[in-house]
Amino acid sequence: MFPIDYEQLRVELRQKIIDILNESGFTAKAIASRINMTEAVISKFLNKKQSIKLTKLDEITSALELPEGYFYRNYVGECYNTDTGKLRKEKTKEFIIRSYTVGYTDIAEQLVSELIDFSKSNMIIVYEIAEYFFAQRQYQVAKGLYQRIVSEETNTLADHYSIGYLRYFQIVRDNIGKAYEPSVRLENHAEQLPNKELKMEAYMLLAKYCYVTEDWERMSRITDLWVTLTKPDDGEMYGYSLLYKASSFHRIGNIDEAIRLTYQYETVDQKFSEIAKGNRMIYAIDQGEIELIPELIAYAKRINAVDEVFRPVLNSYLKNSMYDQFQSFLKDISLYLKPITTNDLPFTIKNYLYYHYLTAVYYVRIDENINAIPQLLSAVSLAERLEDYNFMKKCLYLFYENSAYATLEQKREVKQFVEGGDLPI
């Protein structure tokens, strides 16, 4: 990246416009009339006596029937204040946003670098630009800007520094494997976030991530902080903090504490009352009260959350060798199954991962090994999507044990998952 010669760019911008006016036969007066600007103002700009607004430059570009952003590489010079020797902050911010928006990413990124190089105090402008694109759901642009904030900001006590970690994790969190390191960084900086709302949001995102990755000890640690922070008047956030804390207790094995918390969060509203009812049944079933399974299934159908009970129901049937009931459940829920799409959340994907894996185990148990193979292939695919390599390895080993029942094509399909790995397939 070369240093920017702002003065040269200012000269070139004006000369480019003059050359095009001469070539096209347009006069400054004609262009002025098209963009609601006086000829005198355009002349002052062309004679380098004043700057021009970006919106007016866009109008000139349109009036001359040129491609959008045609003059942008030279407009960079207008962002520089020759009197102060500094970048004009608001003009530069507007131009960076516009450059990203119309696809001149290289111009935008070079100006971001110039802002930071001029003064680290300009990092707040980079943050404001990042927040703009985050709000616009242009996450790839925002992600790069937040990355620069957390890696180049020297004032680690600045609000935008800790918020940068939060936003970056929000963007990458569904990419489970790549989100681990950002999750650790956010956990380390969550207490530094400038207000309670952002802290609660951070703890909720981290708890969800731990739920999908099944890191129950870490989830317990995070929810301890979350529960301490929330109060009953925080409404849903209070309910969710207790809900996730109860889930961590459940999976660690402290069922009594998990059940106790359900009675706390069920008071938040009707939604949490329903969730508490279902979770108490799941906790009881995991403890061996299998007579509650039909009630849990009916409950899940009623609230349209059948995938939420795949793990407890199928696991209990396998644990108790209730193969007829397992088969009946598969038939019963067939109409509720849906194909996984790119829009599905990690929660849903994890539920279906359990469904396919436990169904494969069932087919192996009843000596229908050939039917286990497609289920394992589906499970491996979902595990790879979640980057849950421990679960993926478990599925692949089961495939290997039953590979005699797989077709050549199915073996080739599995090979792509273990190419270069250490699995004996």
- Residues, the chain, total? 425
What type of residue sits at position 215? D
Please report the pLDDT score of residue 419 as a whole number: 67
Structure letter (DSSP) for residue 87: E
The per-residue pLDDT for 425 is 42
pLDDT of residue 125: 96
The ranges assigned to domains in the chain are: 338-425
Quote the pLDDT of residue 418: 72
pLDDT value at position 3?
62
Question: Can you tell me the distance from the alpha carbon of 256 to that of 287, in angstroms, rounded to the nearest whole number?
Answer: 11
The DSSP code sequence of 352-412 is HHHHHHHHHHHHHHTT-HHHHHHHHHHHHHHHHHHT-HHHHHHHHHHHHHTGGGS-HHHHH
Closest CA to 414 of 373, 361, 366, 371: 373
pLDDT at residue 340, as a whole number: 85
If we measure between CA atoms, which residue out of 390, 366, 386, 380 comes closest to residue 411?
A: 380
Burial of 150 (0-12, 13-18, 19+ CB in 10 A): buried
Q: State the pLDDT at residue 79.
A: 86
Instruction: Give residue 424's pLDDT.
Output: 42
Enumerate residue ranges in the chain where pLDDT < 50.
1-2, 420-425
